[in-house]
Chains A and B, each alone.
Chain A
């Protein structure tokens, strides 16, 4: 089955710890994205990547880091510098279509709670 997976589903972190959220896709999509969703708010873009070994900051990149060493993988690290990390994190991917991109396919999400 083709799809996009995220792990873990739930993650608890103590203050001051870094944590890494996993995102894997087997759709052969070129672009991958990380979003954060807070209650009552829409999705806010953290980082995105169009090709391997390249990524760009989104609107709320401070306190986060990413890597894109393989086309199918785009892990997100939430560092201790992120002041309010408790949120629902969503990973997505999309296929290039000419100069544009098709719709985004989302993973099931990771709910991160800071204790």
Chain B
């Protein structure tokens, strides 16, 4: 069956450390993968997009990697701050879905950064 999975357990880290979140998928052929941030009671906000032919993307303190052999994307936040505390969602765009920008979302990982 097709699945996209993120760590269901919350990730708790100390301020200043690097947070690493994982997104694994099975039985999909992704055209690209996106990462979103969601704060409680609010809509997700787009952070980064990485395409199938890209290994790594960076934006300020954020880095995302994409390994199509392992069928995994890693999302890193360096020098983490308490303001980074939120739920992070990965979303996959399969090649097969050629209607619109239809995305398949993971369930999200909650990140808590302690001062």
Contact = CB atoms under 8 A, between A and B. Distances in A.
B34 interface: yes
A42 interface: yes
B107 A109 contact: no
Interface in B32-89: 34, 41-46, 49, 89
Contacts of B8: 40
A56 interface: yes
Interface in A65-86: none
Contacts of A50: 99-100
Contacts of A102: 101
Interface string B88-105: 010101000011111101
A81 to B, nearest CB: 24
Interface string A90-106: 10101000011111111
Given A48-B100, A50-B99, A56-B99, A103 B105 contact: no
In which size bucket is the chain A interface? 20 to 34
A45 B102 contact: yes
B42 to A, nearest CB: 6
Interface of A: 31, 33, 35, 40-45, 48-50, 56, 58, 88, 90, 92, 94, 99-109, 111
Cβ-closest 10 pairs across A and B: A101-B101, A106-B43, A103-B46, A42-B105, A42-B107, A43-B105, A94-B101, A50-B100, A31-B100, A106-B44
